[in-house]
Amino acid sequence: MTAFQPDRSWIHDTPRPPLAIAHRGASAYAFDNTLRAFRLAHELGADMWEVDVRLTADGVPVAFHDADLKAVCGRDLGVGDVTAAALAELTAAAGRPAPLFADIAALAARTGTGIYLDAKEGEAATRAVGLLLENRVERAIVGANTSDYCASLLAAGCPYPVSILVGLGSDPFPIAEGCGAQIVHPCWERAGARPDMLLDAAFFARAHERGLPVVTWHEERMEVVEALVKMPVLGICSDQPEMVARYKSADGPRPEIVCHRGACKIAPENTRSAARAAWSAGFDFVELDVRETADGHLVVHHDSTLDRTTSGTGDLAGRTLADLADLDAGVRSDPFFAGERVPRLDEIVDLAFAAGGRLYVELKQADPVRTVETVLKRMAGEDVFFWSANADWLHLIRKRFPQALLMARPQDFDTLGACLAAFEADIIEFNRGNATATDIETVRKAGKKVMIAYMGSDASEMERLLALEPDLFNVNEPFQVARLLAGLEGDRGAASKPSLPV
C-alpha cells in the first residue's frame, strides 16, 4: 500500500478558464478511451482526462465505456467475460485497442494530467484508484452515477474527491447532500440548445452555500462552451478540450497563428476536420491549398497527385469532382477519419464564415479569378489573404481585386526592396533562414505585416523566431506554440507540459 496521499483542496479553487476535461480523451479526433485519444487530449491542452474503467475476467482495470464488445468488436461478449490479453487482441484487431488503466495512469503522471475516473463498478474504482496512487497522480476525481455508489466510495475512504453525476430533471443538491458528494456534475447536455442557461445565479448560490464545486456535462457547441467558460465552474467536459482554453491572439503581444493545412497534426491535412480543429482552438488562420478538377471545380488539396493523402492515385487535375467524392482523404492519416473527403473550396469557406475564422489561400493549380471570387463572395477582404508561386496570377489578382490582401516572400526576389514593390503585397513572409530583425523593421516601416513560416517543432527555434515579434506565425505545431507562449507569459505549468507523439 502506498503512503502517497493526494491533496483534495484544489477542487475549491476556481480556475480561469475552468479545467478542460477531455471526455474519454479527445474523442472528437480519435477513438474514445484509447491511448491516442488521451495523447491528443494532452496536445490539445486538456487538464484532465475522463476515463471509463471496467474490469476484465482476470480483474484487470481497462479503459472501456460499454459493458460489452458489440459496438467495438462485433462480438456478443461482456468486458468481464474476457481476459485483459484477450480484450487487447480483440480490440486491436478492430482498430480500437483498449488500453490498460495502468498505462493511462502512468501517462497521466508523466504529463502532469489529472484523471476524472468514471468506474463502472466498485471494484474497478478501487483498483483504478490504487493505480493512481501508485503513480502519484495528484489530481483526480472519482465520478459516481448513483447516490449509493457515491456513498460506498466515501465510506471506503476514497482518497480522491467524489462527484455525483445527476441527470436532467433531478435537483443535484439534495442528492449530493444525501450521499456526501464533494462535487456536483449535472449531465444536462440534452436540455435543449442552451443548457448553460439552467446554470443561473440561483444555481451557483446554492452550490456556494454548500461548498460544492461544479463540473459540467460534455459540451461541443461553441456558444454553450463560451458561456460556460465565463461561469464559476471547476471544469468543463468536452470531446474537444481545445474549446475550453482557446488561443487568443488579442491577449498581450501575441502573433496571429496560421495553421498550416489546418490543425494537420490533429486531423488529416487540408480537410474539414483539420480546419474545424484549428478554429475550435481559437487559432486565427487556416492555410489551405487550392487545385482545380478536370471538370473545373475548385478543391482543397496540397499535392498534384492523390497518392500521399487519399485512397486514390494519379494526378488530381485529371479527375472530376465525382471521382474525388469516391476517395477517402482521412484513412491514411488515421482510421478514425475514414470517410473524410477532399473538400471543395466553398465548403471550407462556409466553415470559416460560420466559425468566424480566417483563411490563407495558396493557389497551387486553379483559376485565380474564380478562386478569389469564390472566397470573397462569402468572406470579408480583411479575413483572407492569397499567395501563389505563380507571380503572374498575383499580378492578375491585384489588378482584378484591388481590395484583396496578398502575400510575398523575400526568398522569391533578388532584394527585399523588389519583394516589397511586387504587386503591392500586404504581408511579407520570412522563414527561419532569412528572418532578421533589420529586414523585419524595414517591412514594418513600409507599412506591411510580417509573417514568419516555421514548419519544425524545435522549441528553442520557435522561441527565437517569436522573439522577432512577427504579426503572424505560420506553423505545423500551433498547440506547441500556444504552450510556449503561455510559458513565456508566465504560465510555467503550461510550458513545462511535455510533448507526446500522437
Helical pair 478-488 and 459-466, crossing angle rounded to 10 deg: 70
Grid cell, residue 85, equals: 490479453
Question: What average pLDDT does range 447-469 have in this prediction?
Answer: 97
Q: Round the CA-based radius of gyration of the chain to a whole number and report it.
A: 25
Q: Note the pLDDT of residue 229.
A: 96
Look-up of cell digits 468506474: 119
CA dist., res. 140 & res. 51, Å (int) = 11
Residue 260, phi then psi, degrees to nearest 5: -65, 115
Note if 301 is an active site residue. no
Q: Please answer whether residues 316 and 304 qualify as being in contact, where contact means their C-beta atoms are separated by less than 8 angstroms.
A: yes
> What is the model's pLDDT at position 491?
57
Bridge partners for 50 per DSSP: 23, 116
Q: What is the distance between the alpha carbons of residues 465 and 206, in angstroms, rounded to a whole number?
A: 49
- What was the pLDDT predicted at 324? 98
Query: Which cell numbers in the block locate residue 123?
Result: 471494484
Average pLDDT over residues 357-378: 98
- pLDDT for 501 equals 67
Going through 6-65 in order, the beta strands assigned E by DSSP cover 19-23, 48-55, 61-63
Q: What does the alpha-carbon distance between residue 76 and residue 79 come to, in Å, rounded to a whole number?
A: 10
Torsion of CA 285, 476, 34, 147, to 10 degrees: -40
What is the pLDDT, as a whole number, of residue 61?
Answer: 97
CA distance 94 to 39: 20
Q: Could you tell me the domains of the chain?
A: 9-243 (3.20.20.190), 256-496 (3.20.20.190)
Which segments of 122-243 are extended strands (E)? 140-144, 162-167, 183-187, 215-218, 235-238
**pLDDT tens figures, 68-112:** 999 999 999 999 999 999 999 999 999 999 999 999 999 999 999
> One of 65, 185, 218, 260 is an active-site residue; which one?
260
The answer on pLDDT for 27 being more than 60 is yes
Note the pLDDT of residue 500.
67
Q: How far apart, in whole angstroms, are the C-alpha atoms of residue 233 and residue 16? A: 9
Quick: pLDDT tens for 244-292. 999 999 877 899 999 999 999 999 999 999 999 999 999 999 999 999 9
Please state, in angstroms and rounded to a whole number, the distance separating the CA atoms of residues 322 and 311: 14
Summarised one tens digit per residue, pLDDT across range 151-196 is 999 999 999 999 999 999 999 999 999 999 999 999 999 999 999 9
Residue 302 is a catalytic residue: yes
Is pLDDT above 50 for 495? no
Q: Please state the pTM of the whole predicted model.
A: 0.94
Q: Give the β-pairing of 61-63 and 114-119.
A: unpaired
Residue 339, Cβ neighbours under 10 Å: how many?
9
| Integer angstrom CA distances of residue 424 from 195, 368, 408, 429 | 49, 17, 9, 14
